[in-house]
Amino acid sequence: MKLSPDKRIDLRDVLDGLEDYRPRRKGWHWRTPAPDHKVGPFTYRNASEDLKNSVALPAAHAFGAIDPQCDFVITTEIASGRFEDDIRRMRMAAWHGADHLMVIRTTGQSHIDGLIEGTPEGIGGIPVTRKQLRATRKALDAMEDEVGRPINFHSYVSGLAGPEMAVLFSEEGVNGAHQDPQYNVLYRGINMHRSFVDAAEAKKVMADGGILQIDGAHNANATAKEAWKVTPELLVQHAINTAYSRAAGMAAENIALSTVPPTAPPAPKLRLDLPYAVALRDLFKGYRMRAQQNTRYVESDTTEATVTHVLDTLISRLAGADIQSTITPDEGRNIPWHYNTIAGTNTARQTLMGLDGLTDQVKLDMDGELPELAREIKERAILMMEEILDMGGYYAAVEAGQFVDSGHYPERHGDGIARDPAGGSGAGTVVKRAPRYGAPVCSHFGDNVFKDGDCKAYGGCSLCNPDKIRYVDELDPLDNVGERLKVPLDERDRGILRPEVERHGDGMVCVTLFVPAPPDVAEAAAIDMALHMNLKNPEVISKRVLHPAEGSVFEIKGVLDVYIDTAFLTLPTKVDLIPDADIEAWVRPRHIHAVAATVGEDEHSVGLREILNIKHGGVERFGLKCHDLGTSISVTRLLDEAERTGARVVLMSTIVTHADVHKKNMRRLADEATARGLRERLVLVAGGTQVTDEMAKECGLDAGFGRGTKGRDVGSFLVRELQRRGN
Ligand code: Z98
C-alpha cells in the first residue's frame, strides 16, 4: 500500500488482503540522533534525522520553512474509539512529528478476560482485536514510507488476558506496551497472584519481541488526592515493576519508566517537580524515561493544559527523558479531538525545538537545595520499601492499604487502595505447573521441557511462523467496520463533506463566545445563542469568568447538521507565491520605483501602509523604492509623480465604494495612463477591502488585491509582471 501526500488514505486499501498482511518489522525504534545537525540557518544540538514529508510549525515560514526534529520520541495518545478514525488521525500526527502512537480503547481493556476477534464496537467502546491491530500496523507501515521515519505503535498489556495480549502484540508488530501488574491489582481489582504470574509470561514475550515496556506508576500520581505527596511511592512502584521485569528477562533498554511531574500551576511546580525528577533519574540510571503530562490537572481550559505541558517538557529537557508523551489539551472535556491531538503533539515539538541545546547553557544547581530534596524523596522511598518487606511483602502491603495513600510517606492517612490477596477477578485461577510441563513455543516464561526454538520441530509457533496464526475476520454481521464504513465511504465517493472532530462526519464544531453578563445569565444566553446558530445539542465545554459582573467566555460544542457537496464549490484560483528571498534578489538590484496613494477623496491609509511598510512585511523590504504620496490624491498627480520618479509601478488604494467611486478611479487611472503614453511602462495595481482581481482587470488595471493581502502577494505579482514584460 502506498500513500500519496495529496490523497486521503483509502480505508478500503487498508482493509484489503489483511488476512495475509505481515508487519514489516518488530520491536521498538528510537530516533536516529543527528548531532550538530544543520537545518536551514541553524545548527541543532538535540536533533534527529529530518522527515521526508511533514507539516512544519507555524513560525517556520520565517526561517525558510524548516522542520527540524527533536531527539526525543514524541507520543500521542489516539483514542477516537474507532480504529478506522484513529488511522486518519495517526497520519496527521505522524506529519506533525509524532512517532509513538498509543492507542487506548474507549473500553477498559483490562475488564475483558479474553481476546476478541473482528472489529466490534459493542457497548462502552471497542476492545483491541487482531484485525484492528493488523489494519493499523499496515497503515502505519505505509505512513512510515510517507514521512520517512519508523513509527512505534503502542497499546496496553493488562487485565486477565495480559499474556494473550502480549503474544498478539508480538505477532502483529506492536512496538510498545504498558505492562505493570500493580496496575491490575490497584486499579482493576484483579487478583494479585494472577496478575504477577501473568506479568511474568507477558513480560517474557514482550522482551523476546523487542517491545518497549512502559510501567504504570503514573496512575498513582493521577489517582492520589495530593499527588505531590505520593512521590516516594512512585519510586517504589517503579522499582517493583522494574525488578520484576528484569527477572522475567527484559533488557534494561526496553524498560521505560512512566514519569509524570506531580504538580501543575498554581502549585510552585518546578520547585516541587524538579527534585522528584532528579531523584527518579538518579535511582533508575540505565533505564528509559517516558515523561507524560499529569492528566489529573487537565481541566477544560486548553490554554492552561498547554502551559502545563510546556513546563513539563522543560523538566524533561532539564532532567532528561527519552520519550515525551503528549496529552491532548482537551482530555478534560471530551474524547480527544483530531486537531487537539495535533495541538498536543505540536506543543511537545515546538517546546523541544525551542529548548535545543538548553543544558549546554543552563544546569541544575547540584550545590543548592536540589540534591538535598531529591535525597529526601529517595530516603522516604527506601523506608517504604523496607516497611513493605517487614510487613511480609507486596501482597501484605497492598492488603494494608499502603499504596495510593494521600499521606507523605511515612505519614499515612488510611485512604490508600486496599485489596484482598485472596480476592479479586481471577482469584484461585493460578495452577501449579506440572513436572515436565511443555509448551512448544519460542517465547515462554519459566519451566518448559522445550527450549526456545524447539517449536521448529512442530512446524514453528505463531511467533516464528506467522502462517500458524488463525486470522478471524469478523464475527458479528452488524457490529463491524464494513458496516460502519458504508456511510462514510459513500459520502466520500460522492464528494460530501461535514465537519468532524471525533469520528468521520460527526458534524461536531466548537464556537467561542464572550457574553457580557454575570456567569449564570451569560451561560444560559450563550447556549441560546448557539441554538440560534443552528447547533444541535449545544454543550458548554469550557467557561472562564473574566470578571464576575463584566462577563465570561464560553466554548460551546454542538453538531452542525449540514453537508457540503464539493461538486458545487467554486475554488479561488491559487497563486503560488515567489519566496520572499527570491523576490528581494530580483527587485533590490534593479532599483525599481513605485508611487502609491489613496485616490480620490479617500482618507483610509492603513491598508496601503501595511502593504508598503517594512515593519508590516510590506514591499519596501524587497528593496522596492516606494513613494507614498499620502491620502486623497488625484489620479493625475499619481501619474505626474510616476513620471517624475521614473516609477515602474503605481499602487492605488481605494476603500470608499459609494456610487462605485472605486471603480471609476480605477478606470480613470488606466485611461489616463494610456492617454499619456505610460501604460506600457507602468504596472497598475489597485488594492482595497472591496477590490478583487477580476474587478481591477475589468477596469483596465493589471491586478487587484482585496482583504487579507500581504506585501509578499503584491511583491510576487510585481516580479512576475515585470519579468513578463521583459525587464
Ligand atoms: C498512559 N494516559 O498511557 P485499561 N496498564 C497501564 C496503564 O497505565 C493503562 C492501562 C493498562 C495513560 C493512559 N493508562 C491510561 C499501566 C492506562 C490501560 O483497562 O484498558 O484502561 O488499561 O500513560
Q: Burial, 96: exposed, middle or buried (Cβ in 10 Å; 0-12, 13-18, 19+)?
A: buried
CA triplet 413, 416, 422: central angle to 5 degrees? 140
The whole-number average pLDDT for the span 137-141 is: 98
Q: Which of 230-239, 375-384, 644-653, 655-664 has the lowest mean pLDDT?
A: 655-664
C-alpha distance from residue 717 to each of 150, 619, 655, 662 (Å): 41, 11, 21, 21
Cell of 288: 528509559
CA 157 to ligand 1 center in whole angstroms: 9
DSSP assignment letter at 619: G
Q: Which helix (H) or strand (E) holds 489?
A: helix 481-493
Which atom of ligand 1 is nearest the CA belonging to 102?
3
CA 318 to ligand 1 center in whole angstroms: 26
Which atom of ligand 1 is nearest the CA belonging to 183?
16
Q: Which residue has the higher pLDDT, 352 or 661?
A: 352
The whole-number average pLDDT for the span 471-483 is: 96
CA 103 to ligand 1 center in whole angstroms: 10
CA 32 to ligand 1 center in whole angstroms: 28
Nearest C-alpha neighbor of 595 from the set 543, 647, 640: 647
Which atom of ligand 1 is nearest the CA belonging to 216?
16
CA 383 to ligand 1 center in whole angstroms: 28
Beta pairing class for 535-547 and 551-560:
antiparallel
Query: How far is the C-alpha of 667 from the C-alpha of 670, rounded, in Å?
Result: 5
Give the count of beta carbons closer than 10 Å to the beta carbon of residue 190: 26
**Domain 70-380 in CATH: superfamily?**
D-Lysine 5,6-aminomutase alpha subunit (3.20.20.440)
Query: How far is the C-alpha of 612 from the C-alpha of 634, rounded, in Å?
Result: 19
pLDDT at 222: 86
Which atom of ligand 1 is nearest the CA belonging to 180?
16
Give the count of beta carbons closer than 10 Å to the beta carbon of residue 584: 17
Whether 453 has a pLDDT exceeding 90, the answer reads: no
Residue nearest to atom 21 of ligand 1 (CA): 108
Q: Cβ(378)–Cβ(351) under 8 Å?
A: no
Q: Which residue has the higher pLDDT, 328 or 388?
A: 388
DSSP assignment letter at 434: P
The whole-number average pLDDT for the span 612-633 is: 92
Collapsing DSSP to helix, strand or coil, 714 comes out as helix
Whether 643 has a pLDDT exceeding 90, the answer reads: yes
CA triplet 488, 6, 510: central angle to 5 degrees? 55
Confidence of residue 642 (pLDDT cuts 50, 70, 90): very high
Q: Which residue has the cell 519579468?
A: 723
pTM value? 0.91
One-letter amino acid identity for 516?
Answer: P
Q: Which of 109, 178, 323 to mutate to test the pocket of ligand 1 (most atoms within 8 A of CB)?
A: 178
Query: How far is the C-alpha of 292 from the C-alpha of 260, rounded, in Å?
Result: 5
Question: Hey, which residues does 609 pair with through a beta bridge?
Answer: none
CA 264 to ligand 1 center in whole angstroms: 21
Q: Which residue has the cell 440560534?
A: 532
Give the chain's mean pLDDT.
Answer: 95
Collapsing DSSP to helix, strand or coil, 97 comes out as coil
For residue 302, report the phi and psi dihedrals to the nearest 5 degrees: -70, -30
CA 124 to ligand 1 center in whole angstroms: 16
Q: Burial, 457: exposed, middle or buried (Cβ in 10 Å; 0-12, 13-18, 19+)?
A: exposed
Query: How far is the C-alpha of 613 from the C-alpha of 298, rounded, in Å?
Result: 43
pLDDT at 603: 84
One-letter amino acid identity for 451?
Answer: K
State pLDDT tens for residues 8-28.
Answer: 999 999 999 999 999 999 999
Query: How far is the C-alpha of 509 from the C-alpha of 147, rounded, in Å?
Result: 29
State pLDDT tens for residues 434-449.
Answer: 999 999 999 999 999 9
Q: Which of 104, 129, 289 to mutate to test the pocket of ligand 1 (most atoms within 8 A of CB)?
A: 104
State pLDDT tens for residues 333-372.
Answer: 988 899 999 999 999 999 999 999 999 999 999 999 999 9
Residue nearest to atom 4 of ligand 1 (CA): 108
Break the chain into its structural domains and give their ranges: 70-380, 498-568, 580-724
Confidence of residue 63 (pLDDT cuts 50, 70, 90): very high
CA 350 to ligand 1 center in whole angstroms: 26
Give domain 498-568's CATH number out of 3.40.605.10, 3.40.50.2300, 3.30.30.60, 1.10.357.140: 3.30.30.60
Q: Which CATH architecture has domain 580-724?
A: 3-Layer(aba) Sandwich (3.40)
pLDDT at 356: 98
Whether 135 has a pLDDT exceeding 80, the answer reads: yes
Could you give the count of Cα atoms lying within 13 Å of 422 in the half-sphere of its Cβ?
A: 0
What distance separates the 2 farthest-apart alpha carbons in the chain? Answer: 108
State pLDDT tens for residues 234-266.
Answer: 999 999 999 999 999 999 999 999 999 999 999
> What residues line ligand 1, using a CB cutoff of 6 Å?
77, 102, 104, 108-110, 156, 158-159, 178, 180, 183, 188, 216, 218-219, 258, 292, 295
Whether 31 has a pLDDT exceeding 80, the answer reads: yes
Give the count of beta carbons closer than 10 Å to the beta carbon of residue 644: 11
pLDDT at 533: 97
For CA atoms 185, 189, 190, 192, the dihedral sign is: positive
Query: How far is the C-alpha of 165 from the C-alpha of 203, rounded, in Å?
Result: 11
Whether 127 has a pLDDT exceeding 90, the answer reads: no
